A and B are shown apart, each in its own frame.
Chain A
Amino acid sequence: MDIGQIFVDLAKGSGFAQLFGGQWQNAVMIVLACFFLYLGIKKKFEPLLLVGIAFGMLLTNLPVASESDLIYHPEWWIGEAAIEHGVDYLNVLQHGGLLDILYIGVKTGVYPCLIFIGVGAMTDFGPMIANPKSLLLGAAAQLGIFSAFIMAIIFGFNPSQAASIGIIGGADGPTAIWLTKSLAPELLAAIAIAAYSYMALIPIIQPPIMRLLTTKKERSIKMDQLREVSKSEKIVFPIMVTIFCCLLLPSVAPLLGCLMFGNLLKECGVTERLSDTAQNALMNIVTLFLGISVGATAQGVRFINTQTLLIVVLGLVAFCLSTIGGLLIGKLMCWLTKGKINPLIGAAGVSAVPMAARVAHSEGLKANPSNYLLMHAMGPNVAGVIGSAVAAGILMAVFG
């Protein structure tokens, strides 16, 4: 028995040997995963999702000795066979690793829709019902989606990929994942990470644009107190919007239907237990599964390329242009109403709830310490969620 040879074989079979023997991309991804963990834990950048995504990245990039040890098989989901003949779910269930099983929820679009039920259960549409004009601000803030789409086409992405990149501008993680898993699953990791990172960076990205496009006088505008919205209106609203939007654009039904269902659970007053579950337990479980399985798609060999870098840049441009779109319509409405609307609330039309509304509120406070814009900004903010869901529905109908 050659003891030395045993040690050599053990060393050759270890993950370290594979890591430093050709799979340098995985090593880079492990470092990147640790960086995202740092951002999530220390800097609190969307920690609920970023920690899960980063840990999924870590798991999927650690080398294993044999094929049977893999916990995620990307070729089953985005390989040529999967694209041509569809995913072989029987094979996934029989031979898949843990993350393959969890990824079924992403691939089928179940997780984003379940998250939307939770988001709906946590959302108060009252400020938007009290000031319906805020819906226009929510629509204007989708400008970045289509500007980024055009730029992605110019840079040579195919239409489905361009649509998926554009949706980052909607500032809505679940919507971005829902659209990308169907149109460009190969870009899912890059798009999800870009979307959630920029959502976390809203307090850094938006204020300079707000100050650049508005005067101090405009930022100081105090808005009239919103009217009280009756319970009946809050109950009828989700039912009415679901019927109207799903009849008009059936492709928005999964996202908008789930959002409104969650909101109805909250508002109807007879399903408190379900609403509580949707807001807490369900939301937490799905967030857990979604984060780790999306992170698993970020395998070094596929992730580290110029395409990812372009997606990150285009995502940032999309975010900025969405903010600009909301602000410009906000300024227009300010002018039309003779100074009754503070244009800052337009920037809250990017849907990241409630971060964007809080940023608009704090910028208003800086300009005028007695200016409380939070409730006014919540209107465009929740309208932005509807707007980005409609935008995703349109892109799905055209490219899906």
Chain B
Amino acid sequence: MLNAVESVTIGESFALAGVSMSIIMAVLASIMLLIYLMSAIFKFMEKHNPAFKAKLDAFFSKKTEKTTDATPVAEENKNTVTARGSCGNIVLNNVTEREAAMIMAIVADKMQTPLNELRFKSIKKID
């Protein structure tokens, strides 16, 4: 634990600001490197150990199925899944969660309304 600094001269404040900014840069740069490392490990595992990828896919698809079972609307259409929004569930029809998130963000932006104040019931892809 550092001892609390009681007084700081103007010169010291410049030094302190420089050191602190360097620490922040170093910490966030380290997190950046960790993310690159994590992504590389996942890519490597998926490439060299297909069983690992299958296991992961199965793990997450299980959860999606579970959600789908509970929604009557989803049962009608195999391409329909539900995604959790900030205000209840959203029915996604032939739309990935990523696409839905982008649509919701754009709508919120156009309406100048925070996303958590909007309620999306369903998003359907029209071919």
- The answer for the CA separation of A225 and B114 in the assembled complex, in Å, is 24
Name which of A32-40, A81-89, A130-138, A215-223 contacts chain B: A130-138
Residue in A143, A153, A395 with the greatest tally of chain B CB atoms within 10 Å:
A153
A: contact size bracket: 35 or more
Query: In the bound complex, do residue A133 and residue B32 qualify as a contact, i.e. CB atoms below 8 Å apart?
Result: yes
Residue in A140, A146, A228, A248 with the greatest tally of chain B CB atoms within 10 Å:
A146
Query: In the bound complex, do residue B5 and residue A398 qualify as a contact, i.e. CB atoms below 8 Å apart?
Result: yes
Query: In the bound complex, do residue B20 and residue A391 qualify as a contact, i.e. CB atoms below 8 Å apart?
Result: yes
Which residues of the partner chain B approach A236 to less than 8 Å between Cβ atoms? 38
Q: Which residue of A lies closest to B17 (CB)?
A: A146
Q: Which residue of B lies closest to A283 (CB)?
A: B116
Query: In the bound complex, do residue A146 and residue B20 qualify as a contact, i.e. CB atoms below 8 Å apart?
Result: yes
Distance in Å: Cβ of B107 to nearest Cβ of chain A: 11
Which residues of the partner chain A approach B38 to less than 8 Å between Cβ atoms? 233, 236-237, 240
The reply on B44 being an interface residue by CB < 8 A is no
Residue in B33, B35, B60 with the greatest tally of chain A CB atoms within 10 Å:
B35
The reply on B78 being an interface residue by CB < 8 A is no
Scan A150-188; emit 1 where CB is below 8 A from any B CB, else 0: 100110001110100000000000000000000000000
Q: Which secondary structure dominates chain A's binding surface?
A: helix
Which residues of the partner chain B approach A146 to less than 8 Å between Cβ atoms? 16-18, 20-21
The reply on B34 being an interface residue by CB < 8 A is yes
The reply on B106 being an interface residue by CB < 8 A is yes
Scan B1-28; emit 1 where CB is below 8 A from any A CB, else 0: 1101111111001101110110111011
Query: A residues bordering B, Cβ < 8 Å?
Result: 122, 124, 128-129, 132-133, 135-136, 138-140, 142-143, 146-147, 149-150, 153-154, 158-160, 162, 228, 230-233, 236-237, 240-241, 244-245, 248-249, 269-270, 272, 275-276, 279-280, 354, 358, 361-362, 372, 374-375, 383, 386-387, 390-391, 394-395, 397-400
Query: B residues bordering A, Cβ < 8 Å?
Result: 1-2, 4-10, 13-14, 16-18, 20-21, 23-25, 27-36, 38-39, 42, 56, 60, 63, 84, 86, 98, 101-102, 105-106, 109, 114-116
